[in-house]
Structure 1
Amino acid sequence: MLDTHCRKYIQPLIGLGADIAIKLGLDANRVTIIAMLVGVLSGILTALDLNIAGILMLWISGYLDAVDGTIARKTKSSSPFGTVMDITFDRIVEGSVIIGVAYKYSQFSFISLVLAVSIIISMTIFLTTGPLAENKGEKTFYYQAGLAERTEGFVMLSLMILLRERAEVVINIFSGVVLFTAGQRFIEAKKILSKDL
């Protein structure tokens, strides 16, 4: 939701990062890889109980994840494989933080697993609808907006890290929000694709 409605306000800052990366000779795919590595570091730092550093790395990763797409558009270098990398590496980052939290607080292992499965369900709908729907945006795939998008996920992951042993409520709320988003996307997919039935 925040990504869809607030991106225009932070796009100048993302554009600045893209311009700097381009001047440094970094293409979109390299920035995607750097974003993923920084995000995985976030999960490792979380597991090591270095929570503030973990949150900082998570948000740097998220910023770079936005920068890579802007680089691709500015340099007209968007590619199907770049899209695959971007979406796959986003899940690796989320998974790293979830694993970091579950590792550090074993009492959250089961609900962390429920969260991971919720993300799998929502992303399955997102990824199967995309290729079947007409591409209507500047991205290389059809983008289904929803209650839980990347920024909301980062806020929830940050709260999971920050609240430490009290993170159970956040994890459960995050799972509920992701499943609600999956429902939104499923209903939207039915509307978009019903003409093919």
Structure 2
Amino acid sequence: MFDAKLRPLIDPPLNRLGAWLAGKGATANVVTAVGLAIGLSGAVAIAFSHYTLGLVLIALNRLTDGLDGAVARANGPSDLGGYFDIVADFAFYVSIPLAFGIADPAHTIPALILVAAFVLTGTSFLAYAAIAAKRGEETAAHGSKSFFYSTGLAEGTETILFFIAMTLFPAWFAVLAYVFAALCVLTVVQRSLLAQAQFTNRA
């Protein structure tokens, strides 16, 4: 919901740093791999109830997630890079609620429900992107991307805000997980209605 609105604010500094990293020989795929390693390390920290460390690593993961795109824009984007980026994103997203479920068995059910909601949201997102690409549709609302990014209530910004809240208030994880899972389901409904409006007629 907020991703497109934040792009004009975060892209300029990220692009400058990305261009600098590219000038030093960094590649987007390496930045993506480093970011994934950091994000999964954050999940491990949370699984062992080191929530403050988990919060720091989550923040670093999101920084690298922005930087890999900036490096790609400096070096020239690639389809392979776009593939690795989205896979790394969803691997990170599902690892965090699973980590909370491991840290506290009482959180197992809400963690699994949130993971299921992520899977459903991700499926609708990628299905929409695939059909939009087939029909030749494009959007620049989320910046330059390897494939079509459809807007929804629950996007990257909202996900990270909830992750931050979960690490700051782990005792409230179940409530936060159920609320965000509901937002994910609403996003799927929203995207499905948009798909019905956009894809009813053949391209």
The alignment's TM-score, normalised by the length of structure 2, stands at 0.91
Return the match for 2:195 from 185, 189, 196. 189
Question: Hey, what does 2:184 align to over in structure 1?
Answer: 178
Q: CA deviation at 1:101?
A: 0.5
Match of 1:147 in 2: 153
Q: Distance in 1 between matches of 2:22 and 2:189?
A: 39
- Could you tell me how far 1:50 is from its partner in structure 2? 1.4
Is the contact made by 1:101 and 1:161 (CA closer than 8 Å) also made in structure 2? no
Deviates more, 1:33-42 or 1:12-21: 12-21
Which structure 2 residues correspond to residues 99-118 of structure 1 after superposition, within 5 A? 99-118=98-117
C-alpha distance in 2 between matches for 1:69 and 1:82:
9
Please say which of residues 8-17 and 105-114 is displaced more in the overlay: 8-17
Q: 1:1-197 maps to which residues of 2 (within 5 A)? A: 1-76=1-76, 78-133=77-132, 134-137=137-140, 138-196=144-202
CA distance in 1, matches of 2:148, 2:40: 27
Contact between 1:125 and 1:186, CA under 8 Å: does it hold in 2? yes
Runs of 4+ deviating beyond 4 Å: none
Any conservation in 2 of the 1:122–1:185 contact (CA below 8 Å)?
no
Question: Secondary structure of 2:18's partner?
Answer: helix
1:43 shift after superposition: 0.2
Q: How many residues align?
A: 196
Alpha carbons 2:114, 2:180 under 8 Å: kept: yes
Cα 1:136–1:112 change in 2 (3 A) is same
Distance in 1 between the 2:104 and 2:85 partners? 29
- Shift in Å at residue 56 of structure 1? 0.9
Contact 1:47–1:101 (Cα < 8 Å) also in 2: yes
Q: Which amino acid aligns with 1:131?
A: A
Please, which runs of 5 or more residues in structure 2 have no aligned partner? none
1:124-151 Cα deviation digits (max 9, x unpaired): 1110111211233331211101111111
Once the two structures are overlaid, the 10-residue window that deviates more, 130-139 or 79-88, is: 130-139
The letter of the residue matching 1:172 is Y
Q: Is the 8 A contact 2:101 2:108 kept in 1?
A: yes
Pairwise CA distance, 1:194: 1.2
- 2:180 is matched by which residue type in structure 1? F
- Report the 3-state secondary structure (helix = DSSP H, G, I; strand = E; otherwise coil) of the residue aligned with 2:120: helix
- The two structures have a TM-score, normalised by structure 1, of 0.94
Letter in 2 for 1:88: V
Shift of residue 71, structure 1, vs aligned partner: 1.4
Aligned to 2:49, what secondary structure does the other structure show? coil
Once the two structures are aligned, what percentage of the paired residues are identical?
A: 24
Report the alpha carbon displacement of residue 82 of structure 1 after superposing the two structures with TM. 1.2
Measured after TM superposition, the shift of residue 20 of structure 1 is: 3.1
Deviations 1:87-119 (A, max 9, x none): 111111112211110001111111111111111
Summarize deviations over 1:11-65 as a string: whole Å, max 9, x none.
2221233123213311111111111111001101111221111111111111111
Question: Does the CA contact (< 8 Å) of 1:28 and 1:69 recur in 2?
Answer: yes
State whether residues 105 and 165 of structure 1, in contact with CA within 8 Å, keep that contact through their aligned partners in structure 2: no
